[in-house]
Each structure stands twice: as structure tokens, then as C-alpha cells.
Structure 1
Amino acid sequence: MKTIINTNNAPAPIGPYSQAVLAGNLLFVSGQVAINPATGELVMDDIQTETKQVMENIKAILTEAGVDFSHIVKTSIFLMDMQNFALVNEVYGTYFTESFPARETVQVAGLPKNVNVEITVTALKP
């Protein structure tokens, strides 16, 4: 059984996919970029501000699904430039307090809407 998770507090999908899908007790959150859900505009002032918007979008989806960052078991971070790794980590790290999830970070050749960072997560729903 799968349940589609959707909230107006995160950006609407820009393609044929859902914000998140709950399958059993696994929550798969689609890759999030720095779109402000209130305005539909990209937030790209700097990499830290961009990353914060991405994480806030993830937070909104997690909240809609009834979980939080402590339930995340796996994240994937996609960067246009690995030189931003440390700055993204600074922001990303503020959303976790302990029991950090597994993760990979990769540099990619391109991301939707020419953003600098995209993050996807998988969480367990108790």
C-alpha cells in the first residue's frame, strides 16, 4: 500500500512525481530544490540560503507525513559544485541533533532549474 504525501507548505512538483510517497513505514521524499512555496520563486541568494530553503521544504513534507528529521535514515545531496560541500554541511547539520542518517553527496553536471543543490531523503514512520 502506498500513500501520496502532499502539502502546500512545500513547492508543488515541477514534473510527473509526488512530493513524497509513504510505502509501508518508509517515506520517500522527492528531491527538493530551493523554491519558496509561498511565491514559487527560487531562493538563490547564496548557497547557505539556498540550502536552508531546501531543508525547510523537506521539513514541511516530513511534518505533513507526521515525522521529523530524527526519522530520516538516508539522505542524498546533489551539488553543482563540490566546493560548496562545507557550506551546505553547515546548514544541513543544524537540522540533525544525533543519530545522523546515512548519506552520500555527489557533484552533478546539472540540476532542475539550474539550482546549486538538491536533497532527497528517506525516513521511517513509526
Structure 2
Amino acid sequence: MSNEAVSTEKAPKAVGPYSQAVKTGNLLFVSGQLPIDPATGSMVEGTIQDKTRRSLTNLAAVAEAGGTSLKNAVKVTVFLADIADFAAANEVYKEFFESPFPARSAVQVAALPLGGQIEIEAIFSIPA
């Protein structure tokens, strides 16, 4: 089984030497998605809700490019620059995912690339 890089113009380009996602077998591993507008290449302004929405929109775009969707998310990891944003980010998260919700971790980190406040990565199953 070989790995296949997945990319889409509907999500921001990688900010380092990594793929937007990697497909292997029936799994898709999507790299952390910052709240970057792919049209401008700039971090979105606004509230943590605005930034969460952009990160999840980017995540969904990469998932679709890899042949799956948010409903097939198995595990999501949310990285927050400030854990105090947890409740506000959850408000938006519930707009994108429904029961049965994927497994998830949310952690506060010392810093995120490009001064981001949130970054979201996920593992997806790919339907046969």
C-alpha cells in the first residue's frame, strides 16, 4: 500500500514541507488547518468563532479532495493558543459535525504557526 498526497486549491497551501493530506488505504490524514483564507493566503480576522469556521471549512475542503467528508471524520484534534476559547470554538464545531461525533482531543499549545489562535487536524475514513 502506498501513500498518496492530496491537495486542493480550496484550502490554503502548506506553510512548510508537508502535504495538505495523505491518503493511505481507506484512511485520509489531514494536516492541521489554520484559519487562512485560501483565496488571499492571509489569516482571517475576527472572533475565535470566525477563525474556527475558516479552519473547519478548510478541513472540509481537503477531506472532499481526498474522497471523503466531515461525516466520515474518525478523530479530530483541536489546537488552541488559549484554552479559554474552548467553549466558543465548540459553538462552531457543532455546526460542522453531528452525532455520532468523531473522537476528539483539544489542547492548549504555547504557539501556533503564523501566530494562529486555532489549528484543526483530522483522520477520516474513506467510503468504499
Question: What's the TM-score, normalizing by structure 1?
Answer: 0.98
Q: How does 1:47-66 map to 2 (within 5 A)?
A: 47-66=48-67
Q: Distance in 1 between matches of 2:34 and 2:55?
A: 5
Partner of 1:10: 11
Tell me which amino acid in the other structure corresponds to 2:99: E
Identity of aligned residues (%): 44
Q: The residue matched to 2:37 in structure 1 has which SS? A: coil
Name 1:40's counterpart in structure 2. 41
Equivalent position SS for 1:94: helix
Alignment check: 8 A CA contact 1:44 1:115 kept: no
Deviations 1:70-112 (A, max 9, x none): 1100000010111100000000111112110001100110000
- Counterpart for residue 96 of structure 2: 95
SS in 1 for 2:96: coil
Runs (4 or more) in structure 1 with deviation over 4 Å come to: none
Aligned residue in 2 for 1:72: 73
CA distance in 1, matches of 2:46, 2:80: 16
Q: Which runs of 5+ in 2 are unaligned?
A: none
RMSD (Å) for aligned C-alpha atoms: 0.7
Q: Distance in 1 between matches of 2:70 and 2:99?
A: 10
TM-score relative to the length of structure 2 = 0.96
Rounded Cα–Cα distance in structure 2 between residues aligned with 1:51 and 1:95: 10
